[in-house]
Amino acid sequence: MVSFTFVGGERTLKPEKILYVQTDGHRNVFTVLEGSERVELNLYKKLDEIERVLKPYGFVRSHRSFMVNMRYVKSVSNYLMELTTGEVLTIPRSRYGMVKEAFKDMQPYKG
């Protein structure tokens, strides 16, 4: 479990329920699975600080403004990452090798 002080108060989350974290201006938006729904939680904290907390749980900084939970990555090829949700994200050339290696090291998500 990890805890963050989001806009609206402190929340404790299971890391495996966080799909990704994306920077939007000065805030970071957590996309979280709650039941069958997606919930967005806003946080004003540097992505570097969030990365230090989430990296041990299988999160990879796939872009300077994006961290993804590798449990939800279906494939990585041609500088693209496909998530199990159907979303496709681009990977910059400078991070592609690291993301590809992290994907190879990750166990497949099972539900």
pLDDT of 106 over the 90 cut: no
Q: Residues near 85 by Cβ (< 8 Å), separated by ≥ 6?
A: 19, 72
CA 65, 72, 84, 103 dihedral sign is positive
Q: Nearest Cα to 73, choosing from 103, 96, 97?
A: 103
Q: Which domains does the chain show, CATH number per domain?
A: 2-105 (2.40.50.1020)
Tell me, what's the pLDDT at 56? Answer: 94
Tell me, what's the pLDDT at 36? Answer: 87
Q: What is the pLDDT of residues 23-54, one digit of tens each?
A: 998 999 999 999 889 999 999 999 999 999 99
Tell me, what's the pLDDT at 105? Answer: 82
Tell me, what's the pLDDT at 50? Answer: 95
Provide the whole-model pTM.
Answer: 0.87
Q: Which two tokens stand for residue 29?
A: 């938006």
